[in-house]
Amino acid sequence: MHPVLKWLSVVTPIVSIFLGGYYWRSVSISATLKPDLTTDYSKGEEVIMADAKSIYDIKYVDIDGNEQSMEQYRGHVLIVVNVASKCGFTCVNYKELTELYDKYSENEGLRILAFPCNQFGSQEPLGETEIKEFVKEYDVRYNLASKSNVNGDNTHALWTLLKDRQRGILGTTLVKWNFTKFLVDKKGNVLKRYAPNTNPKAMEKDIIEAFKS
């Protein structure tokens, strides 16, 4: 047999097995997370605003409608997360985020900024006033932004930056579901992206390391 043909006979089955495995893992993940099929993401990846060189250049509107600057988080380890009130991940994430905040906010300066988002299965149907009432159930005292988009043409500038600095599988920037979390260090470096099914307490080791920087 020609050497090239012999090589192909060995490599082709291996590649097929790998791609087949990846395909079925992708199908499994998609079925579990039930991605939003009503949102059009066909126009491509978002582009970071030219003047947003760091997260501290960006502003957002809080849950009460007041403009806030990300500058307030300089010098703090920060978790940024997209939240929803009707998601299967809601209870554990709100509960554990509160636990982390209570444990580390006063002595270590941990900050959390949550963005309510209705892009995934329409699982945040509440208005801002209703959201404020809802989160009292979880004793939320960390900061909440107003409802925002994390994918698509109207993506909030902060999320555009976060997604670009820490990309997902195969380099994609898209947020896959509610409760995708980003960890930012005291200097504004985006350290890590966490999947929706990664509970906040699983981030604790990374958070402690970030305090040391």
pLDDT digit string, tens, across residues 174-184: 999 999 999 99
**Same domain as 17, residue 74:** no
Q: How wide is the angle at C-alpha 160 spanned by C-alphas 82 and 198, nearest 5°? A: 35
- Give the model's pLDDT for residue 124: 99
The tally of CA atoms less than 13 A away on the side-chain side of residue 68 is 17
DSSP letters along 121-138, please? TT-----HHHHHHHGGGG
- Give the model's pLDDT for residue 23: 32
Q: Which residues contact 158 (CB under 8 A, 6 or more apart)?
A: 55, 58, 60, 70, 80
Q: What is the pTM of this model?
A: 0.78
Domain with 14, as residue range(s), is 1-33
CATH number at residue 206: 3.40.30.10
**Same domain as 125, residue 194:** yes
Q: Would 40 be classed as within a structural domain?
A: no
Do β-strands 59-61 and 111-116 pair in parallel, antiparallel, or remain unpaired? Answer: unpaired
Q: How many independent structural domains does the chain possess?
A: 2
- Tokens linked to 35: 């991605």
- Give the model's pLDDT for residue 14: 38
**Share above pLDDT 70 across residues of the chain, in percent, rounded to a whole number:** 76
pLDDT tens track for 47-91: 444 356 899 999 999 999 999 999 999 999 999 999 999 999 999
More confident position, 45 or 140: 140
Q: Would 166 be classed as within a structural domain?
A: yes
**Same domain as 72, residue 2:** no
**What's the CA gap between 72 and 26, in Å, rounded?**
38
Catalytic (active-site) positions: 87
- Tokens linked to 137: 């159930």
Q: Is the pLDDT of residue 196 over 70?
A: yes
Task: Specify the 3-state DSSP secondary structure of 151.
Answer: coil
- Give the model's pLDDT for residue 16: 38
- Give the model's pLDDT for residue 213: 85
**Same domain as 105, residue 14:** no
- Give the model's pLDDT for residue 169: 87
**Same domain as 22, residue 103:** no
Q: Would 196 be classed as within a structural domain?
A: yes
Average confidence (pLDDT) over 161-170:
94
Residue with tokens 């020609």: 2
